[in-house]
Amino acid sequence: MKRMRITLLELQKILRSPVIVLMLLVFVGFNLFTILSNAYMKDELKILNQIVQEYGLSFNDESLKELKRAIEQGVSSIDHQAETINDFFNQLTFENYTNYSLDDQKTIDNLSLRYLYYNQASALEERYEELDIEVIGDGVIEKFNISGIAEELILNDYEKLAMRFDEIVEEQEYKTWFFAGNPYRMHSQLFRELMSIIAIEGVILVVLISAFIACYERDNRTSFVTYSTKTGRRLMLKKWYASLLGTLIVCGFLFIVTLAIYFTTFDYSGLWESFVSSGINWEYKFPYVTWYDFTFIEYLGMAILIITTTLLLISTLTFGVSVFIQNSYMATVFCYLLLVAMFVIPSLFTFSSLLLLLGQFNPTLLILNPHMYFNGLAGLAGSQYHEIITLTVWMVISMFLLTISLKRFMRKDLV
Amino acid sequence: MKLFWMELKKIFTWPVILLVVILNLLLYILLIEFELEYFPNGRPAKDVFQVEMEMIDRYGEVIDEDEFADFIGTYDERVKDANEFLQTDELAIKAGVDSYEEFRNTDIDDMAAEEMHSHIMFELEEDLFWELQARESIIERYESRVTGLEFLIRYQSNSKQEKERIREMLQNRKFQYYSELVLRNFENYSSQVVVIILLSIAIVLSPIYIRDKVRDIVPLQYTSKKGRGIFHLKWRAGLTSIGILLAIHLLIYGGLYLTNDTAHYFFMHVYSMSNNPVWYDITFGEFILLTIVAIIMLGYVFGILTIACSALVGNYLTQISTQILLFCAFAFVMIPVGVQRIIETMYLPWVVPTIYISLILFVCLTDRFVKKRELVKDI
């Protein structure tokens, strides 16, 4: 505990500054606004929780038949003349609809949503059969004009992905219920929108915090005192721990509050164990074909883990830069620009396909695309170990940078 | 005066200039390049732009009935060219399509015809057919110019003033003859430029007072002969550097905008090229000037707030955080309302001027508050 004391005291320096608290509140407010602007569909989404409760999380021909029968019964209880479900919904104009009593209208809404899920689920088998992973791979190569080693790497990936895809089809992993990807796009809403917003907010705060802690003594003219104490310049190491701890606290706060709001707004009960590679979760051109059979809750955990790790890594990187520059302002602005550069520069590598491919392995792109984690069909960033490689490589780079700048700092003249 | 130059030099140090240059390069690629390189973006848009340039030369801003008849005449000639092209094209003969009329109504299910259609449009990129498409869209707009405005009155306008304005436009025959391609491009471009300018100002001016505070030389300065006058001196140096930054950015990005070759449109009224009705009868050139004035005002407001903030807070952490929040407020509110849609009837006519006036008032108050505070502060 005594050894931790300095670290904790360093941490206090940021947590006590009101502006960090203010920014956290503003960011949470913004996230709340983003969530609520999509909240209008939360009642419609609840139908799926009912379906899952009644028919189980995964579906097969049997349970689909049952579902269809139930819908047919429901339809005939409202309109005795309707022979098939299709007939009923086809003749249902707006005027017809308003003629029903309010109770009936609710049932009709319910039935039509169930029918939507039924239709999507029963069409899946065919849609999956039409997908040819290797053709998609060729498409990627053609689109980005890739040749040489990069082409081989990508082809190799897609070959492996094709095997994984067959596994998904064989084990019927794609036949689990999830919010219909097509109208609702809940996967994108949570991971692409919300998670990447959290990540950006995290980056803004983490860079600020790390640079501030690293340059605190210099900025406050206390460096002569602190660096000549018994702890001396080893204080820098403690400061680094403090900035990592600060990163965890900030990120934890953002994640916990935002996700708590999100999951109280949208009801995911019963869906935690559903697979992300579910075919119902098919949003755009391709379904999500994850490399591993992640359930939703596992995927969420992985996404949080990856973003947190990346933020820790960015914190370390910033800390290294700040120790080197010893001016918190320059260091902060420089790190922001560096992160923007990582987003911009890979798109300029159109002249070399290997560079284009390597450019994908960078932390900024990693935290901006949480919806594509472990997804084989993520364009150039689809290789099996993409996330792990990116994190490891940048972990090494940032630790290396930190070591160099700390070493330099340890030997530097104080005045 | 010597001190003033010194202060100015302290603001523009080499590292800061370097950071601003990097910022400009990155954001140029990220935000601006697209608006310049891909203008007009896509196929019919490119042809619309070509045809419109020709039209402006021949007819001017207002197209009367005779001119329109002339335009139709050109269109018919082009259709004849298209017919001739189709009659000699192999694939077209194979598909049994020998007139432009049939070509337009290509059946998607008919494999041969569909193949011929996509071959001509996308593989050959035969300009003639795209041009015809462009001309059709212009004809369509011309024919629906009255009903379009009437539709707006009935369904889309949300305020009394807006309805009145559209009625007045109808009465004085202020119609939209041209597509809003150029206007939208300019609006997007200018708002991206504002983003870059504000960020540059923030980077350059944030340290202005903090630098001295952090180095603990303020007491030294304030007890010198010049005394607290240094604060005012720095303030003026800050204002000058905002001006310098604005001038440089506006010159560079203004110059780059000229590469879009939209000079033909400068003397046409904004309403003749905007889908959304606007409050004032100004020309596109005047609109550009108005946007520049708006950018200068926003730049100064943002810059003075930055300087004031720098004078108030004690460390870089607070300064950068407030800058980020301030920038977000500007990016989400001021840029869309105050630059992009500055004269559109979407907002009531008093909204935008009020926003600017209140901003300026706020800045004046901050200015006085900060200066007064500094004069009576304990060292």
pLDDT tens per residue, range A280-294 = 888 888 888 889 888
Is residue A1 over pLDDT 70? no
One domain for residues B207 and B146 = no
One domain for residues B203 and B315 = yes
One domain for residues B35 and B108 = no
pLDDT at B108: 66
Any CB–CB contact under 8 A between B13 and chain A? no
Q: Which long-range contacts (CB under 8 A, 24 or more apart) does A47-52 make?
A: A47/A110, A47/A113, A47/A114, A47/A117, A48/A117, A48/A177, A48/A178, A48/A179, A48/A180, A48/A271, A49/A267, A49/A269, A49/A270, A49/A271, A51/A114, A51/A117, A51/A177, A52/A177, A52/A270, A52/A271
Write the pLDDT tens digit of every residue in B333-368.
999 998 988 888 888 888 999 999 999 999 999 999
Write the pLDDT tens digit of every residue in B108-145.
667 777 777 777 777 776 778 888 888 888 888 888 88
pLDDT at B250: 95
pLDDT at A113: 86
Contacts of A20 in chain B (CB under 8 A): 317, 321
Which candidate in B217, B320, B333 is best for mutational testing of the A interface (most A CBs within 10 A)?
B320
Contacts of B23 in chain A (CB under 8 A): 337
- Judged by average pLDDT, the poorest of A143-152, A403-412, B3-12, B152-161 is B152-161
Is residue A83 over pLDDT 80? no
One domain for residues B258 and B356 = yes
Q: A361 near A386, Cβ under 8 Å?
A: yes
Annotate B39-48 with b (16+ C-beta within 10 A) or e (fewer).
Answer: bbeebbbbbb
One domain for residues B146 and B203 = no
Choice between A89 and A314, residue whose per-residue pLDDT is larger: A314
One domain for residues B258 and B270 = yes
Q: How is residue B270 annotated by DSSP?
A: G
Q: Is B278 helix (H, G, I), strand (E, B) or coil?
A: strand
Contacts of B317 in chain A (CB under 8 A): 14, 17, 19-20, 208-209, 212, 328
Among the partner residues A17, A334, A347, nearest to B317 by beta-carbon distance: A17
Q: B39 near B128, Cβ under 8 Å?
A: no
Place of tokens 């509110």: B333
Is residue A298 over pLDDT 80? yes
- What residues 196-255 of chain A have any CB closer than 8 A to a CB of chain B? 204, 208-209, 211-212, 215, 219-221
Calculate mean pLDDT across residues B30-40: 88
pLDDT at A334: 94
Q: Which two tokens stand for residue A407?
A: 């070493």
Nearest Cα to Cα of residue B186 among B82, B260, B111, B89: B260
Torsion region of A18: left, alpha or beta (phi above 0 gives left; psi -120 to 50 gives alpha): alpha
Please, what is the average pLDDT of chain A? 87
Among the partner residues B22, B206, B214, nearest to A219 by beta-carbon distance: B214
Phi, psi of A282 (to 5 degrees): -80, 110
d(CA B343, CA B290): 10
One domain for residues B33 and B48 = no
Which candidate in A11, A326, A329 is best for mutational testing of the B interface (most B CBs within 10 A)?
A329
> Where in the sequence is the domain holding B322, given as residue range(s)?
2-40+178-376
Write the pLDDT tens digit of every residue in A95-144.
777 777 888 888 888 888 888 888 888 888 888 888 888 888 888 888 88
> How far is residue A192 from each of residues A200, A269, A287, A398, B354, measured CA to CA in Å?
12, 21, 15, 26, 37
pTM of the model: 0.91
Any CB–CB contact under 8 A between A16 and chain B? no
pLDDT at B5: 92
Any CB–CB contact under 8 A between B19 and chain A? yes
One domain for residues B47 and B36 = no
Nearest Cα of chain B lies from the Cα of A116 at a distance, in angstroms, of 27
Tally of structural domains, chain B:
2
Is residue A373 over pLDDT 80? yes
pLDDT at B366: 93
pLDDT at A17: 86
d(CA B228, CA B372): 11
One domain for residues B191 and B289 = yes
pLDDT at B109: 67
d(CA B322, CA B317): 9
Phi, psi of B261 (to 5 degrees): 60, 50
One domain for residues B58 and B200 = no
One domain for residues B24 and B135 = no
Residue ending a domain, choose from B149, B171, B193: B171
Nearest Cα to Cα of residue A210 among A392, A335, A305: A335
Among the partner residues B22, B210, B318, nearest to A17 by beta-carbon distance: B318
pLDDT at A403: 94
Residue ending a domain, choose from B141, B156, B171: B171
Residue ending a domain, choose from B120, B138, B171: B171
- Could you give the percent of chain A with pLDDT greater than 90? 34
Which chain A residue is nearest to residue B21, measuring alpha carbons? A337
One domain for residues B160 and B210 = no
